[in-house]
Amino acid sequence: MKYILVTGGVISGIGKGIIASSVGTILKSCGLRVTSIKIDPYINIDAGTFSPYEHGEVFVLDDGGEVDLDLGNYERFLDIRLTKDNNLTTGKIYQHVINKERNGDYLGKTVQVVPHITDAIQEWVMRQALIPVDEDGLEPQVCVIELGGTVGDIESMPFIEAFRQFQFKVKRENFCNIHVSLVPQPSSTREQKSKPTQYSVQKLRGLGLSPDLVVCRCSDPLETSVKDKISMFCHVEPEQVICVQDVSSIYRVPLLLEEQGVVDYFLRRLNLPIERQPQKMLRKWKEMADRYDCLLETCSIALVGKYTKLFDSYASVTKALEHSALAINHKLELKYIDSTDLEPSTLQEDPVRYHEAWQKLCSAHGVLVPGGFGVRGTEGKIQAICWARKQKKPFLGVCLGMQLAVVEFSRNVLGWQDANSTEFDSKTTHPVVRTPPGHKGSEGVSSPRISLNRAVKSWRTWVVGKLYGDPEFVEERHRHRFEVMIIRKQLCLGKEKGLGGQCIWGPGLMEIGISVSDHPFFVGVQYHPEFLSRPIKPSPPYLGLLLASAGRLPHYLQKGCRLSPRDTYSDRSGSSSPDSEITELKFPSINHD
C-alpha cells in the first residue's frame, strides 16, 4: 500500500480536495486502484448536524454516512464508492479511544494523546485503506489522504504527529507528502509572493513532515524566479514545485498536474507499478476540458433554495447540473435564488429584492428546487413550483422540492387549501407529507432515512423510466425524515381534471412524484440523485431537466435516449456500454449539432 498525504498551508479552502482528487485521478488513469480518506480535525462525530453555512453541503454515502463534501469530489473524480469510515474526525477518534478505555482495553494505563490517540489514527488509516471501493471488489493499491484545515492549527496537531510517526512505520518508499500552499499576488504590484509558502513549509518541517511536492496555488502561472526561490527555501528540487494556477474548469487540474511530471515523480518516489503515460481515462478528462472551453450555447437554471448565500451548500447539485449541461454541449448558467425573496412578505419589506428574484426565475430555462430542512422559505419554493407548473417550465424537485411539489399540486389542483407537510404544520387536515408510521426514534422524533435504497419500478411509459433506461429498479441515496404518504386514488383526482398524476412507489412510499400532463418536464424525486452523478455519467433526472430546458428532450427520447447515433446512454442498473470500463455516457464531438 502506498500512502499520499495532502496537507495545506496559509489559508483553508485552498483546494486541497481538488488536488487530492486530481492526484487520485491521474494515478487511476495509470491503471492503479485508488481510495481516499478525508480527515477533519473538528470534534463533531460527522457532518450530519452541520448547518450548510458551516461547511457547505452534507454529502451522503451508500452506507448512510453523512460526511464532508470533499468525499463527493473523491467519488466524482475517481468514480468510486466510499464508506463513512473514509471520513475521519477528531470526534470519531476520541470516541473510539474512550470506548476502548471504558472496556478496559488499555489495562489501567494512563490514556494520552501520544501514543493512544496517534496510534488509533494510524490504525484507522491502515485499516480503511484496504477496503475495496471499486466495483471489482479488489483491494486498493494507493490511498490518498487529505488532512483538513491548515498546518499549525491546534486541532490538527495530533494528526500531524500521527503521520510523523506513520512515515517511519510504513517506510519512506511507501509514503509521501504533498503540501498545498497559496502564492498570493497583490493587485497593486502583481508580484508573486513566496514568503507565505516558505513559512508554511517551515512550520510543517518543524512538526516532522517534509513535503515531497509543494503545490502552489496562484492566479497566474508561477514565474521561474519564484519557483526557484520556493525550491531553495523549501528544500525541494525545482521539479518538485508544482504550479496550479486558476483554470477554466476543474477538469483541467488533473491534466495540469500530469503535464508537470507528477506521474513520473510518483513512479520514481513510490516505485509504482504503472505505465509512464496515463491511459484512456485521462484522455476522457482532456476531452471534457476541451469541450467545456468550446461550449457556445447556454442553458440557464434557476436554483430556488434556502442556503444560497454559500454556494458550497449545493455543491453536489451544482456539479450534477454541470455534468448534464456538458453532456448536451451547453454551458450552464446557474441563477441562485433565495426562496424567501419570492414570498409576498418580501414584496412589502423589500420590493426591489422581490422583483429581482422573480425576474431571475422568469428568465431561466428551467427550475430546480433542492432539498432542505425547516419551514423558512418553503412558501417561496411553492410559489416557484406553481409558476413552473403553470408556465410549463421544466422543473425538477429533489427531496423537499418533491414534497413541496406534492403540496402545491394538492392545494392548487386537488383543492386542498391547507395541504402541507406535518414538518411545517402538524394540525393540517391534509397531511400529504408526514413521517412514516414506525419511523420514530427513542425520543419520538422521526429517525432519518439515510442510505442507498432501491426504488421499485412502475414506470415503463414514464419519462424518468426512459431516462434511467427502464431498469427493474434504481438505487439512489436518501436523506430525509418526512415522506409523501398521499395515496394513488387521491393523486388520480388530478388526472380527472386533465392535469394528470403519476408516481413511482417504493415499499408503501412515493419515490418519484407527480408528473403533470402536457408539461415538458415536471418531476420530483424523494432521493438525492446528485450524489451519484459523475462527470462522465450524469444523473438521469438532472440530465432530463437540462435536456428539457434546452428543448432537446423529445428528440433525445425519440432516438432511444441517445445523444447521437453512435453515442449512447445506459442506466446505472448494470447495462453495459461499449466502453463501460470508462463511462456509461459517451459524449458527442465538439461540433455535434
The three grid cell numbers given for residue 422, joined into one nine-digit string: 406535518
Evaluated on CA atoms 354, 550, 386, 456, the torsion sign reads negative
Q: Looking at residue 583, what DSSP letter applies? A: -
Q: How far apart are the C-alpha atoms of 572 and 570, rounded to whole Å? A: 7
Q: What is the 3-state secondary structure (H, E, C) of 172-215?
A: HHHEEEEEEEECCCCCCCCCCCCHHHHHHHHHHHHCCCCCCEEE
Q: How far apart are the C-alpha atoms of 412 and 387, rounded to whole Å? A: 11
Q: Position of cell 502552489?
A: 216
In tens digits, the chain (593 residues) has pLDDT values of 999 999 999 888 888 999 999 999 999 988 899 999 999 999 999 888 888 888 788 999 988 889 988 999 999 999 999 999 999 999 999 999 999 999 999 998 999 999 999 999 999 999 999 999 998 889 999 999 999 999 989 999 999 999 999 999 999 999 999 999 999 998 888 899 999 999 999 999 999 999 999 999 999 999 999 999 999 999 999 999 999 999 888 889 999 999 999 988 999 999 987 765 656 667 888 888 888 888 889 999 999 999 988 888 999 999 999 999 999 999 999 999 999 999 999 999 999 999 999 999 999 999 999 988 888 989 999 999 999 999 999 999 998 998 899 899 888 888 888 888 888 888 888 888 887 665 554 334 444 556 666 554 445 457 777 888 777 677 888 887 777 765 444 444 444 444 444 444 443 445 655 566 678 899 888 889 999 999 888 999 999 999 999 999 988 888 877 765 333 333 333 333 333 332 333 333 333 33
List Cβ neighbours of 51 (8 Å cut-off, separation of 6 or more).
Answer: none
User: Of the candidates 214, 205, 224, which has an alpha carbon nearest to the alpha carbon of residue 164?
Assistant: 205
Residue 517's pLDDT is 67
User: pTM, whole model, 2 decimals?
Assistant: 0.86
Q: How far apart are the C-alpha atoms of 550 and 539, rounded to whole Å? A: 16
Distances in whole angstroms, Cα of residue 116 to Cα of each of 96, 374, 506: 10, 41, 46
Ordered by where they begin, the domains of the chain are 2-290 (3.40.50.300), 295-438+447-559 (3.40.50.880)
Q: Looking at residue 140, what DSSP letter applies? A: P
* From 143, 399, 503, 561, the catalytic residue: 399
φ, ψ of residue 19 in degrees (nearest 5): -65, -45
Q: How far apart are the C-alpha atoms of 230 and 241, rounded to whole Å? A: 7
Q: How far apart are the C-alpha atoms of 352 and 342, rounded to whole Å? A: 11
Query: Could you confirm whether 30 is annotated as catalytic?
Result: no
* From 161, 511, 530, 584, the catalytic residue: 530
- Order the strands of the 395-398 sheet from edge to edge: 331-338, 298-305, 366-369, 395-398, 522-525, 510-512, 504-505
Query: What's the one-letter identity of residue 416?
Result: W
DSSP structure string for 16-48 = HHHHHHHHHHHHHTTT--EEEEEEE-SSSSSST
Evaluated on CA atoms 253, 254, 256, 261, the torsion sign reads positive
Query: Could you confirm whether 399 is annotated as catalytic?
Result: yes
Assess contact for 113 and 93: CB atoms under 8 A.
Answer: no
Provide the strand spans (E) within 130-173.
Answer: 142-147
Assess contact for 484 and 514: CB atoms under 8 A.
Answer: no
Q: How far apart are the C-alpha atoms of 420 and 221, rounded to whole Å? A: 54
HSE toward the beta carbon, residue 105, CA cutoff 13 A: 11
φ, ψ of residue 520 in degrees (nearest 5): -60, -35
User: Of the candidates 213, 227, 245, which has an alpha carbon nearest to the alpha carbon of residue 5?
Assistant: 213
Query: What's the one-letter identity of residue 504?
Result: I
- Order the strands of the 241-245 sheet from edge to edge: 87-89, 34-40, 142-147, 2-8, 175-182, 213-218, 241-245
The three grid cell numbers given for residue 493, joined into one nine-digit string: 383526482
The three grid cell numbers given for residue 204, joined into one nine-digit string: 510543517
Residue 482's pLDDT is 77
Query: What's the one-letter identity of residue 37?
Result: I
φ, ψ of residue 296 in degrees (nearest 5): -115, -45
Q: How far apart are the C-alpha atoms of 570 and 552, rounded to whole Å? A: 18
Assess contact for 53 and 102: CB atoms under 8 A.
Answer: no
Query: Could you confirm whether 365 is annotated as catalytic?
Result: no
How many other C-beta atoms lie within 10 A of the C-beta of residue 216?
22
Residue 593's pLDDT is 32
Instruction: With H, G, I as helix, E, B as strand and everything else as coil, classify residue 144.
Output: strand
